[in-house]
Amino acid sequence: MSDEDNTFENCSKRRHWPGEHVLALDFRSLAAFRILFSAVLLLDCLIRWIDATAHYSDLGLLPRGVLLEQGWNPSFFSLHMINGQPAFIHAMFAIQALAALALLCGFRTRSATLLSWLLLVSIHNRNPWVLNGGDVYARVILFWMLFLPWGQIWSMDAQRKQSDFRWWMGKLSEDGRGVRSMASLAVLLQISLLYWFAALPKTHPSWVADNSAINIALHLDYLVKPFGVAFREMFADQLPALTWLVFLWEFWGPFLLWFPFDKGQVRTFSLCLFAAMHMGFELCFAIGLFPAYCMVILSVLLPGWFWEKLGFVKSYDISLPKISRRRHQAAQWSCGLLVLYLVAWNFSNEQFRPVISIPDPLKWVAFTLRLDQRWNMFSPSPPYHDGWWVAVAHRRSGDTLNLFDPTGPITWDKPENISGGYLTQRRRRWWMELRSTNNQRLLSSTCTYLCNKLNGDKRSLHEVKEVELYYMLELTRMDGSEMEPRKVEVYRHDNFPPNPSVPVNVIVPEEENVGE
């Protein structure tokens, strides 16, 4: 066969083997995943849109100048950095929402996928301090969808007889109902890496000795929901066993996704268990769309056996593109190199021997494509500290007020529901980052934004002149009991320099968990 012959042979001539479903992604699973993922992506966009001005414009918490000073990587790109005016940011959100809607409907799927990925990376780079593990997971999986035909069926493109299969996407599976390629391997591997590298860093005694990790996590008031509190009290005696089961399942569960000696029953059962674990996280913790993204992404691995049991047995007439074997192999080898890079990046984040690291001249690949990742959820242990913020504002007139709630009194008492005190998880994440980093420039821009929001454009004696920012620090003991909260003055802000704003105290030096 010459180099110019069609690479995609008739699938019926191939030799069948038991593990075909392991490395192939079914078109029905890809289509269902596209619909579900796009719905979550659209919801994510709408939630972010609520704080478009506050989180992404020059009039908000993080002006572009502050971002360039404090958290910009030279390998990043962001279309949202072109202009800092709220009107431009709102226009960008409108485009992002339309791209996600087009993706959901399968309208011009290739273009919608590329545009959605570009805008998702762009918005992530514009404000990295409001991100969590779900954002990382979404963008790396969306990247691999650039190389997979998830609009081949159940889409407007399919209704118009426009194939989503491109020459760089690999070959048809043996039954002709899926695709097998380096990108399909990358998706399976990426999902497995999430769980493996969530388990491997869990080396603290709270995970491997006294099994108190889940009990500690359920005492984090800024994360736990009322259901989590009730669950903690109701199943207190079972929490150590549950901790051990979660640890074991995160490590051993992904291996079942690779089980080749059936038609996909073991994989389907494993996917259901993973989905149940994430549903438990969603019920107990306020961690945004992280569980939703995790559950939705699992659907891409559903085997053909699952759809046949549901009655979706229609055969699909796939028109395959003509392409030389050489170009096809070059595309697959390039994708394979990215897969190896992905594995090496995950190993380089942990303390393994021998040490695996990415050379500095090659790190730009991960930062430009935003394939950089670390899955240290509650690792090496859950945080043993939490608390709540109190902001005391001083007017020019000498009056004081609660900057977070100007109509309410200043109180140091513990709120009844700390995690429910934030309208969105992005707002919660911003204040969690302020607590952990104690970044002077971010604290200053935050106080400036809050003051300007309250003061408005008019000058008067009611203007807020100074702000005292406190954190009520509450530590949790190993047995889950909580210490008496301690008031820590974090920052004093002068809203009318020349008197500079200075940090007062560094609260907690520990780094936050990426999955929160």
pTM of the model: 0.91
Whole-angstrom CA distances from 466 to 73, 197, 493 are 33, 45, 6
Peptide bond preceding 354 in cis form (omega within 30 of 0): yes
Alpha-carbon distance 210 to 374, whole Å? Answer: 25
- Name the amino acid, one letter, at 309: K
Residue ranges in the chain whose pLDDT is less than 70: 1-18, 353, 458, 497-516
Under a CB-based contact definition with an 8 Å cutoff, are residues 74 and 125 in contact? no
pLDDT at position 241: 96
* In 106-181, alpha helices (H): 109-126, 133-144, 156-159
pLDDT at position 136: 97
Whole-angstrom CA distances from 465 to 390, 404, 448, 462 are 17, 15, 10, 9
Under a CB-based contact definition with an 8 Å cutoff, are residues 341 and 366 in contact? yes
Q: What residue ranges do the domains of the chain occupy?
A: 26-369, 385-503
The full length of the chain comes to 516
pLDDT at position 11: 40
Under a CB-based contact definition with an 8 Å cutoff, are residues 247 and 199 in contact? yes
Under a CB-based contact definition with an 8 Å cutoff, are residues 456 and 395 in contact? no
**Residues 6+ positions from 86 with CB-CB distance below 8 Å:** 52, 53, 57, 59
Alpha-carbon distance 352 to 5, whole Å? Answer: 46
- Tokens 């936050």, residue located: 512
Alpha-carbon distance 239 to 413, whole Å? Answer: 29
pLDDT at position 500: 52
Whole-angstrom CA distances from 107 to 96, 169, 385 are 14, 19, 47
